[in-house]
Amino acid sequence: MRDLFNFGQMLSAHARTAPERVGARDLDRAMSFRLWNERACRLANALLGLGLAKGDRVAILAYNCVEWCEIYAATAKAGLVALPINFRLTAPEVQFIVENADAAAMIVQDELTGLVEEARQDLGIPDDRFIHFGTKPRPAGYRGYEDIIAAAADREPGQQVALSDPWTLMYTSGTTGKPKGVLRSHRSAVLLSMVTEIELKLSRNDGALLVMPMCHANSLNFFGAFGYIGGVNSIYSRKSFDPEHAVTTLADGGSTFTSLVPTHYIMMLDLPRGLRAQHDFSAVTKLMISSAPARPETKREVMEMFPKSGLYELYGATETGWVTMLHPHEQFTKLGSVGRECVGAAPIRLLDEAGNEVPDGEAGELYSSNAHTFDCYWRLPEKTREAFRGDYCSVGDMARRDADGYIQLADRKSNMIISGGENIYPSEVEALVGAHPGVKDIAVIGLPDDKWGERVHAVIVPRDGMAVQESELVEWAKERLAGFKRPRSYAFITDAEMPRNATGKILHRELKKRFS
């Protein structure tokens, strides 16, 4: 009996059954399934022709562009492991990942070669396996991406690739210490794609606008789901998020779905109402909000802006894939929740420090168990063991469960503030203080305090065009938060000064360094 197809094999099937249908595109180019598959086969054969063997890691350093679609498919066909690297990293951070993963080849977009050159001789990659693509002239010492594709055979590589074989090695953003490599198999990708298709009720008539970086698990996971179903993967190929351009792109009718972080939605909601009213969003039927806590008022405004679209919220991680999903019909009855466990998953466990289940309403560390959890942390067996209790996995997030089984995130365990012996979860304070109409964004951190151990400190980004005073926020918090949870100090910064990772998630540790 034939096993499930991996992504490369599924692309081949689409190329046979719907060869001229558009399968992948960015803002400049489009590829039919036939062309996409042909180029992926050529790239796979080219990489194998350079001496790469099954299981070797291929580092990719690029902005969002359609080449990501080719590279992910080519590595799947060749039995290679895709190693996506965040383009926002510094040269030393890039060097750490490439060396730690023991990469055998590296594909680099032209504007990003500077991040490689500084440490190129130390990376351990043979000189003939640095590959360049882009519009600028090819630098010395690089092979041309288009050259190796043109010179390679367009036949299927014929490599035996099992579902248990690894496909991606994706490094976490490193909220604590050095980033860890998360190794995921083809089976994990297939099963997560199926879960996504069931939860979102996807069909081949759906198309995804992938805005978040293609080096990030969110876009990779949705890319897989839409690729498997035979929908269109549209890559938002801009180096940074432009809310006005994004609104226009969503309104052009080419995509039915997108997944954005709360910051993206806030930026679009800050556009003038008159400008937003010029656009027809009726083609967009599904929206996802994820990767960072979403304030209830943000979700309400999103639903008003996109009245024809169902709003979903998910909670997940690079290691676990999707863990919970909140569906459109639950938004108003369970606003503030991230839903219940996804289809096919075991019941979520919320545990205290001793490993005991906490009662409903109390915060515990969230453990999930599903068939698409990651295989291991790359070369970190002890860290892998720490992440698991039997078949259950945790990434250190704290959550509460209500009487109906719905999950509400409290915070990352590492972000928890202990003030006067009380546990305070920043996301709760952020949600309530951030509901003030003059607050565009907020981050709450714990700062050293001689009396309390830590004090609650709120870092505020005022809403554009509004002047919010600390005294207003003090009164606002007094009406909504218990005394020990209220911020004892405030700081006001601009949106550009708020530190974020590639997905828009606020880096609380950077704020703690700045204000401590």
The 10s digit of each residue's pLDDT in 413-437 is 778 787 876 778 788 889 889 999 9
Mean pLDDT taken over the chain? 92
Distance (Å, rounded) from C-alpha 254 to C-alpha 447?
Answer: 47
Distance (Å, rounded) from C-alpha 38 to C-alpha 82?
Answer: 19
pLDDT above 80: residue 215: yes
pLDDT above 90: residue 43: yes
| Tokens, residue 203 | 């069909």
pLDDT above 50: residue 160: yes
pLDDT at position 421: 65
pLDDT at position 175: 45
Kindly state the average pLDDT of the residues 115-121: 88
Question: Beta-strand (E) ranges in 46-102?
Answer: 57-61, 81-85
The 10s digit of each residue's pLDDT in 249-275 is 999 888 999 999 888 898 899 999 999
Kindly state the average pLDDT of the residues 358-380: 96
pLDDT at position 173: 60
pLDDT at position 177: 57
Output the DSSP codes for 358-384.
PPTTS-EEEEB--TT---EETT-HHHH
pLDDT at position 453: 76
Distance, first Cα to last Cα, the chain: 61
pLDDT above 50: residue 461: yes
Residue 73 pLDDT class (50, 70, 90 cuts): very high
Domains of the chain: 7-151+164-185 (3.40.50.980), 190-350 (3.40.50.12780), 419-515 (3.30.300.30)
* DSSP annotation of 302: H
pLDDT above 80: residue 178: no
Residue 2 pLDDT class (50, 70, 90 cuts): low
pLDDT above 70: residue 402: yes
Distance (Å, rounded) from C-alpha 386 to C-alpha 395?
Answer: 10
Coil vs helix vs strand at 492: strand
Distance (Å, rounded) from C-alpha 97 to C-alpha 109?
Answer: 17
% of the chain at pLDDT higher than 70: 98
Out of 52-56, 131-135, 139-143, 422-426, pick the least confident.
422-426
pLDDT above 80: residue 5: yes
Output the DSSP codes for 386-450.
HHEETTEE--SEEEEE-TTS-EEEEEEGGG-EEETTEEE-HHHHHHHHTTSTTEEEEEEEEEEET
Beta-carbon contacts of residue 323 (< 8 Å; ≥ 6 apart): 314, 315, 316, 317, 341, 342, 345, 348, 366, 368, 370
pLDDT above 90: residue 505: no
Most confident of 19-23, 119-123, 425-429: 19-23
